[in-house]
Amino acid sequence: MKIAMIGTGYVGLVSGVCFSDFGHEVVCVDKDPRKIEMLERGEVPIYEPGLDLLMAKNVDAGRLTFTLDLAEAIKDADAVFIAVGTPTRRGDGHADLTYVMAAAEEIAKAADHYMVIVTKSTVPVGTNAKVREVVAAANPDLDFDVASNPEFLREGAAIDDFMKPDRVVVGVETDRAAQVMADIYRPLYLRDFPIVTTDLESAEMIKYAANAFLATKITFINEIAALCEKVGADVKQVSKGMGLDGRIGNKFLHAGPGYGGSCFPKDTKALARIGQDHASPMVITEAVIKINEDVKRRMFDKLLDLVGGSFNGKTVAVLGVTFKPNTDDMRDAPSLTIVPAMVGAGAEVRVTDPQGKREGEALLPGVQWYDDPYAAAKDADLLVILTEWNEFRALDLKRVSASMKDARLADLRNIYSSRDAKDAGFVAYDSIGRAGFGI
């Protein structure tokens, strides 16, 4: 199969590389010359473990190329995937479909043969029908189908998710389009991975419903964690006891400083807006959005308590600012709420993150960047663990506490226990949903 992938952002690049590894001929298209130049040099513009090696392998095999020329890319293509951004539109919570519709129109004007135009971007229900209208209007004589193929990739584990998916969701209108999509995903069919074939609207809804449900699980356990702190329960034990129930499961029950990233914030807002537009309010989802913001603000209050009620003149070392480990993604990360609040309250904030500096330098003005957590913690009044990178899971806590001016630890990912902190010489410790000391 020949595939054109429009957009080389996170979803487009990972999908394009993985499709080429299936054996398909893939051309990835982008309007950004700098990005295409990087890719042609073998440089990956995002951080995703293993992506650079897989990309190089398929470029060397001649199955994967990059271009600025959309018309050339879709020549003889069996399927064209739209994988451009759908950011939240300012002011109303809608997903901004400007890039999707522009891509659809450009594809239509350049196309001269039957193809399936596949929306890979996360889009509101009804978008693929609009794509069909845009394409038909731009090229009335074109023979084409549209399909919806939402992605379910976890940043940091995207290649494994693509190659060994829980499921692949494909929304189509015709048997012809279904066959093209089946041929594209044939390697997964042959290994018996679940392929869910639906109508367009159901495929679009599956993506939003899944992400909203996962965001709800995170938010629920964060609310439970707040209550655990009040009543003396341990949220880690509560989560374990809940998660062993097969109806609930143990995933996404890890209390923390709130969800962030490229999907959950954007998709929950979009789902809430879709509900409002159709007079079917998503009350639970709307509550999840509000509570998640409250959780982030509650984290600042925790840190303020740990330093005695004032950040003036205090030095704070923050370990991790990306929204999760194994990614350089800063979108809606809790750090973007918590760190500026500390800076604004008078703290000198030092930051270290294995991959966060590239995006974080512009997003977190007024902080000092360090390469080493031990250097960041030296002479600090407070150490905050904000992202659970493996580098932070096995710190020499005694060395850290001994180097600090005032050995106080805020473990916002529950990596360490209060006993770990006390044995290491910390004079104060707090975490999420568990007992602290010395506050």
Helical ranges in 61-97 per DSSP H: 70-73
Helical ranges in 97-255 per DSSP H: 98-110, 127-138, 158-163, 175-184, 186-190, 200-231, 235-243
Q: How many whole angstroms separate alpha carbon 60 and alpha carbon 63?
A: 8
**Other CB atoms within 10 Å distance of the CB of residue 368:** 12
The DSSP output letter for 389 is: -
> Quick check: 288 and 299 in contact, CB under 8 A?
no
Annotated active-site residue in 18, 28, 228, 263: 263
Active-site residue flag, 18: no
Measured between alpha carbons, how far is residue 2 from residues 22, 70, 73, 319, 408 in Å?
11, 14, 9, 44, 57
Q: How many whole angstroms separate alpha carbon 81 and alpha carbon 74?
A: 10
Nearest CA to 88 out of 96, 80, 100, 79 is that of: 96
Helical ranges in 65-113 per DSSP H: 70-73, 98-110
Q: How many whole angstroms separate alpha carbon 331 and alpha carbon 320?
A: 14
Helix, strand counts (H, E) of the chain: 18, 14
Q: Which helix (H) or strand (E) holds 429?
A: strand 428-430
Read off the tokens for 229: 């702190």
User: What positions carry a catalytic annotation?
Assistant: 263
